[in-house]
């Protein structure tokens, strides 16, 4: 049949099915292929916290959402254009997020009586008119793959398991994507299992062919390339980016790397990646608990390593005392907190930005630490390197805040060469002449890093207050005041060594949207949209939370109103109000969900309307 071709700027697709349906894999393949074609891509996996939830249930639904486009896409999208639903539960759970007149590609084999019951459907939604506001394409994928693979000696179960690649083939055709990238991937993946390789290749191509020939698919959509800088790209999760950032930072500093960590969702993958980097000389300890994780890292830092510990909310709570020790010892250490919904166990797999105040103040005594935050999955790489730079240069622990959204979501990472990355100058003290463990550098106020093994620099350090310069234990009142002030001054001084904050849009005026961390994508999309529509608004996104960029006070002073969207009840807002003594507006969401572009847009429009519009 004659197919119509239609051009689109951006598309949001959600692959949804049962936990065992391979949706994460399917989604990853689609996003990588789209990246290969030059689209910008942003993804988010949405899977149950149960490991193997009972098959077919509502809570066992696993999904993978992708937004791709010819413009830059900063989030995984809000409402979907296409929902691929492999069973009844996945339709039921995800339908509310499908756009009106959106496309449903349903595997009708997943809507038998058992599946309908588990999904709590009284009638089959594919057969009544309940989906009349959508473009429903129902295909019995299991029968088709059964026919396609009838010549192979596969069990019915093995045959049925290939249906996700049939669905992928369909969607590849629908958006005019070739199957080559996935074919190459399958050839590597199943190099030792030729039977599965052949089956998956056949089914993938059958899906593509089916869509190209079937009247069920009258339109094919095309999306032009995005304007991306030339270079090599890969999709990357925030957690992998942190792991790569640590290895790269160590190499740039010419230091060996140590990670002390304990498994915790959603930070564990950093430990997984690092533990696989044995070819790169990385040492790691999966410790007996969170405290031992950071403690072993402190030991390694004392011994001269670039040391890190990685965790999420409850783990950060456990590390608090050790963070104070590392702070008063003045040893370099990178503490990565992948923020999740709290308090307590809270929402283990869901994002939040509610650890900012804890990062700022969550230690007994006066114990300020530098805090940096990543704004996207790929930015986790840059901010990890920045955290390492500050840690080594200033001899201090540094907290890197990411969150469950950017940690597990992906966006294209423009892969740098090691040579292109900034140097991290690290050095150990070796000269015994005039050596004192707490004699500070005049500019940075950092103390020397003298490590065991260096002759004639033997010294003792500890958690007790110490005398300025000599480091000898001292409980003296004036000395304590001096040391507290010196340690704080060292951290404040880092403000002179970080980039100034920049403002997009109007450089002064009515409304500044000020964000931090993983909400960047949603805010940026909202800002771009409204600004291109002529709204007089401005946007600034913070990467350094402590110390703040030194021009932030000047920026705030230039705007009548400041809106801080964040996934907490107003933590950055509180910090800014306290420091700059002026009211700040908040957009505060604590639902365990990422911030969405439309939520920012609505809030900004509401604020603009309050002023009578423009």
Partner 1 sequence: MRTLIDDIIEMPANGTVGSSPKDYKADIDVRWCAGCGGYAILAQTQRIMSTLGLPREKIVFISGIGCSSRFPYYMNVYGMHTMHGRALPIASGVKMARPDLSVWVATGDGDGLSIGGNHFIHAARRNMDLNVILFNNAIYSLTKGQYSPTSLPGQLTKSSPLGVLDDPFDPVALALGAGSTFVARCYDRDTQILQKMFDRASKHKGFAFVEVYANCVIFNDGAFDLYTKKETRKEHTVDLQHGKPLIFGDNNDKGIKLDGFTPIVVSLTDGSHSVDDLLVHNENDSTLAFILANMTYNPNLPRPMGVFLATERPSYDQKVVEQLNYYESLPGANDIDKLLLGGDYWEIK
Please give the residues from 286 up to 315 whose contact with partner 1 meets the rule CB under 8 A. Answer: 287-289, 291-293, 295-305, 307
Q: Which residue(s) pair with 78 in the sheet? A: none
- The least CB distance from residue 256 to partner 1, in Å, is 5
262 binds partner 1 (CB under 8 A): no
Our finding on whether 68 is near partner 1 (CB under 8 A) is no
We find the least distance from the C-beta atom of residue 5 to partner 1, in angstroms, to be 24
The one segment of 227-235, 484-492, 507-515, 579-587 that binds partner 1 by CB under 8 A: 227-235
Pairing of strands 559-566, 544-546: unpaired
d(C-alpha 298, C-alpha 291), whole Å: 11
**What residues from 28 to 57 belong to the interface with partner 1 (CB under 8 A)?**
32, 35-36, 38
Query: Does residue 365 bind partner 1 (CB under 8 A)?
Result: no
Residue 409 in contact with partner 1, rule: CB under 8 A:
no
Q: Which is nearer to partner 1, 43 or 601 (CB)?
A: 43
Q: Is 283 in the site for partner 1 (CB under 8 A)?
A: yes
Q: Point out which span in 14-22, 42-50, 56-64, 253-261 binds partner 1 (CB under 8 A).
A: 253-261
Quick one: which segment of 55-63, 447-455, 483-491, 575-583 binds partner 1 (CB under 8 A)? 447-455
Helix (H, G, I), strand (E, B) or coil at 135: strand
Rounded Cα–Cα distance for residues 427 and 14 (Å)? 49
| Nearest partner of 488 among 580, 367, 604, 314, judged by Cα | 367
Q: Which of 230, 343, 434, 534 binds partner 1 (CB under 8 A)?
A: 230
Contact between 427 and partner 1 per CB under 8 A = yes
User: Does 248 engage in binding with partner 1 (CB under 8 A)?
Assistant: yes
264 contributes a contact to partner 1 by CB under 8 A = no
Task: Work out which of 73, 137, 171, 322 binds partner 1, going by CB under 8 A.
Answer: 322
The encoded tokens of residue 587 equal 């957009």
Residue for token digits 């290969």? 36
Using CB under 8 A, which of 66, 86, 106, 426 touches partner 1?
Answer: 426
Cβ proximity to partner 1, 284 vs 573, nearer residue: 284
333: contact with partner 1 by CB under 8 A: no
> 3-state SS string over 491-551?
HHHHHHHCCCCCCEECCCEEEEEEEEHHHHHHHHHHHHHHHHCCCCEEEEEECEEECCCCC
Tokens coding 403? 């969150």
DSSP strand pairing (219-223 vs 504-505) = unpaired
Question: 470 or 591, CB closer to partner 1?
Answer: 470
Residue showing tokens 């057969």 = 127
Return the number of the residue (294 or 498) whose C-beta is nearest partner 1.
294
336 binds partner 1, rule: CB under 8 A: no
- Contact set for partner 1, span 458-497 (CB under 8 A): 458-464, 472-473
Tell me how far, at minimum, the Cβ of 578 lies from partner 1, in Å.
30
Residues in contact with 37: Cβ distance below 8 Å, sequence separation at least 6, in sequence order: 177, 225
Please check whether residue 63 is in contact with residue 15, taking contact to mean a CB–CB distance below 8 angstroms: yes
Q: Which residue, 88 or 306, is less far from partner 1 as judged by CB?
A: 306
Dist. CA 239–CA 262, nearest whole Å: 15
Asked whether the beta carbons of 92 and 120 are under 8 A apart, the reply is yes
Name the segment binding partner 1 (CB under 8 A); options: 2-10, 89-97, 231-239, 356-364: 231-239
> Binding to partner 1 by residue 364, rule CB under 8 A?
no
Alpha helices (runs of H) in 95-179, residue ranges in sequence order: 113-118, 141-148, 156-160, 163-174
**How far apart, in whole angstroms, are the C-alpha atoms of residue 337 and residue 313?**
7
* Shortest separation between residue 430's beta carbon and partner 1, angstroms: 7
Size of site (CB under 8 A) for partner 1: 80
DSSP string across 36-91: HTT-EEEEEEE--SSSSPPTT-GGGEEEEEEEEESS---SS-SSEEEEEESSHHHH
Cα–Cα nearest to 566, from 539, 588, 546: 588
Stretch that binds partner 1, among 128-136, 153-161, 199-207, 450-458 (CB under 8 A): 450-458
Q: In the window 145-184, what residues touch partner 1 (CB under 8 A)? A: 181
607: DSSP letter: H
């Amino acid at each position: 049949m004659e197919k119509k071709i239609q051009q689109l700027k951006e598309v949001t697709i959600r692959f949804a099915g049962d936990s065992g349906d391979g949706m994460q894999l399917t989604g990853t393949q689609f996003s990588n292929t789209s990246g290969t074609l030059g689209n910008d891509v942003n993804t988010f996996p949405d899977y149950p916290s149960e490991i193997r939830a009972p098959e077919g249930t509502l809570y066992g639904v696993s999904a993978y959402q992708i937004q791709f486009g010819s413009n830059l896409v900063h989030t995984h999208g809000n409402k979907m254009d296409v929902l691929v639903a492999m069973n009844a539960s996945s339709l039921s759970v995800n339908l509310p997020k499908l756009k009106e007149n959106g496309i449903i590609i349903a595997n009708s084999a997943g809507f038998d009586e058992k599946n309908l019951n588990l999904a709590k459907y009284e009638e089959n939604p594919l057969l009544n008119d309940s989906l009349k506001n959508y473009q429903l394409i129902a295909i019995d994928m299991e029968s088709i793959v059964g026919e396609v693979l009838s010549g192979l000696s596969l069990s019915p179960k093995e045959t049925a398991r290939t249906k996700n690649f049939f669905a992928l083939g369909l969607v590849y055709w629908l958006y005019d994507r070739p199957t080559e990238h996935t074919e190459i991937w399958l050839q590597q993946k199943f190099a030792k299992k030729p039977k599965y390789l052949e089956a998956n290749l056949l089914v993938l191509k059958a899906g593509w062919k089916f869509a190209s020939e079937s009247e069920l698919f009258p339109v094919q959509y095309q999306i032009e390339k995005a304007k991306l800088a030339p270079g090599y790209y890969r999709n990357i999760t925030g957690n992998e980016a942190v792991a790569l950032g640590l290895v790269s930072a160590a190499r740039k500093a010419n230091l060996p790397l140590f990670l002390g960590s304990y498994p915790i969702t959603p930070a564990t993958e950093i430990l997984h990646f690092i533990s696989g980097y044995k070819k790169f000389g990385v040492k790691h300890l999966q410790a007996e608990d969170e405290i031992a994780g950071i403690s072993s890292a402190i030991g390694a830092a004392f011994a001269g390593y670039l040391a890190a510990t990685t965790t999420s909310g409850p783990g950060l709570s456990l590390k608090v005392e050790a963070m104070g020790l590392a702070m008063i010892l003045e040893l370099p250490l990178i503490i990565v907190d992948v923020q999740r919904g709290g308090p307590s166990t809270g929402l283990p797999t869901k994002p939040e930005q509610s650890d900012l105040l804890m990062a700022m103040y969550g230690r007994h005594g006066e114990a300020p630490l530098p805090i940096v935050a990543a704004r996207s999955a790929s930015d986790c790489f840059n901010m990890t390197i920045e955290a390492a730079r500050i840690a080594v240069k200033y001899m201090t622990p540094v907290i890197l805040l990411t969150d469950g959204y950017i940690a597990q979501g992906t966006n294209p990472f423009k892969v740098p060469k090691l040579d292109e990355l900034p140097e991290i100058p690290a050095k150990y003290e070796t000269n015994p002449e005039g050596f004192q463990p707490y004699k500070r550098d005049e500019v940075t106020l950092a103390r020397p890093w003298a490590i065991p093994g260096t002759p004639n620099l033997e010294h003792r350090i500890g958690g007790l207050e110490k005398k300025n310069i000599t480091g000898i234990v001292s409980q003296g009142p004036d000395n304590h005041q001096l040391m507290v002030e010196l340690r704080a001054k060292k951290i404040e001084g880092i403000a002179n060594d970080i980039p100034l904050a920049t403002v997009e849009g109007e450089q002064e005026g009515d409304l500044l949207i000020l964000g931090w961390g993983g909400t960047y994508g949603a805010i940026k999309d909202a800002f771009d949209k409204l600004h291109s529509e002529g709204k007089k608004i401005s946007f600034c996104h913070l990467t350094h939370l402590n110390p703040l960029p030194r021009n932030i006070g000047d920026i705030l002073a230039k705007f009548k109103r400041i809106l801080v969207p964040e996934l907490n009840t107003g933590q950055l807002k509180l910090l800014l109000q306290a420091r700059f003594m002026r009211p700040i507006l908040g957009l505060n969401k604590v639902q365990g969900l990422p911030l969405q572009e439309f939520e920012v847009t609505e809030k900004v429009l509401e604020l603009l309307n309050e002023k009578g519009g423009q």
